[in-house]
Amino acid sequence: MKLDKTSFKAKKASDSTNDRVYFLSLSPVERWEILDYLNLQAYQLDVYPKLDRTAFSKRKHEN
């Protein structure tokens, strides 16, 4: 997903009430994709790194 920087402008947080309405009007999948994209941008990643499963072990809990 590519961010269209021409469709945004700087404004105060108090003036951004329509952003919340727009965001909540999206489907849950679309909102998840936006949050996923923002998370990748925050950590400067292209894709998420794979989880190192060797650091975890499975064991049964005693009751």
10: tokens are: 């700087």
Residues with Cβ < 8 Å from 23, sequence gap 6 or more?
Answer: 31, 34
* Mean pLDDT across the chain: 81
The predicted structure's pLDDT at residue 1? 63
The predicted structure's pLDDT at residue 35? 92
pLDDT digit string, tens, across residues 33-61: 999 988 888 888 888 877 777 777 777 77
Band the pLDDT of 16: cuts 50, 70, 90. Answer: low
- Tell which wins on pLDDT, 26 or 10: 26
* Average pLDDT of span 7-32: 83
